Amino acid sequence: MDINAIASMSTAMATARVQNEVGVRVLKMAQDMQGQVATSLLSSAVETANEIAKMNSGDVGSRIDVTA
């Protein structure tokens, strides 16, 4: 092997290593964002369910229907 081939191979290996590290970091960031989005959606769903329950509760528990 001549010096140019060795240098080229070394550069290619370094580039591959950097690309791999970048890919792993991007994947980790995407996973973190996905968790945050899921948490936000669940929180919004709980708030909406609570609002619907409050709107529809009306006079529940304040009178007894004795007709059959």
When pLDDT is cut at 50, 70 and 90, the band that residue 20 belongs to is: very high
Token pair recorded at residue 41: 């959606």
What is the number of other CB atoms lying within 10 angstroms of the CB of residue 17?
Answer: 10
pLDDT value, residue 59: 65
Percent of the chain with pLDDT over 70: 90
**Predicted pLDDT of residue 22:** 93
- Cα separation, 18 vs 35, whole angstroms: 26
Single pTM value for the model: 0.54
Sign of CA dihedral 54, 57, 59, 64: negative
